[in-house]
Amino acid sequence: MILYNLRCAHDHEFEAWFKDSNTYDKQVAATKIACPVCGNTGIQKAPMAPRIGSGAQKEQTNSTIDQSKFAKVREVMKKVRAEIENNCDYVGPDFAEEARKIHYDEVDPRNIYGETSQDEARALKEEGVDFTRVPWLPRNDS
């Protein structure tokens, strides 16, 4: 007796026992084998799917989740950067100086972004200058 994995013309898969491969060939030729789901007689041997070890599969799933999480964070950071770039003037390392000018009404208020040192950032906070630190995604890192 041999067990065959069979598939009908509508992709239903099922298993069937035969006395030998000759019996299978004869029964298929005589359309005596019908799909148990739809009754179709266009039966073919289905390829046996190799079984993948569950351990390897698990590892793959985990790394896929980490990747998608990381991609999501990057996506958010990109949006933040784009939002700032679209709505703010880049003042580079002059950020602290420009922020003060705006704070003390020396120039027309506008949104700016740029870089500043830890010390300058602390000084600005103490002076009551309103600003926010954002995680910055380098442009070349994409």
In the three-class reduction of DSSP (H, G, I as helix; E, B as strand; rest coil), residue 83 is classed as: helix
Minimum gap (Å) between residue 19 Cβ and Zn ion? 23
Query: Using the rule CB under 5 A, is 19 a contact of Zn ion?
Result: no
Cβ closest to Zn ion, residue 9 vs residue 107: 9
Handedness of CA 75, 80, 86, 91 (dihedral sign): negative
Radius of gyration of the chain (CA): 34
Q: Which amino acid is at 140?
A: N
How far apart are alpha carbons 117 and 106 in whole angstroms?
22
Q: How far is the CB of 6 from Zn ion (least distance, A)?
A: 10
For residue 135, the tally of other CB atoms under 10 A from its CB is 9
Q: Is 12 near Zn ion (CB under 5 A)?
A: yes
Nearer to Zn ion, 46 or 129 (CB): 46
Q: Could you say which residues in the range 29-48 bind Zn ion, by CB under 5 A?
A: 35, 37-38, 40
Among 10, 72, 110, 122, binds Zn ion (CB under 5 A): 10
Applying CB under 5 A, the residues found at the interface with Zn ion are 8, 10, 12, 35, 37-38, 40
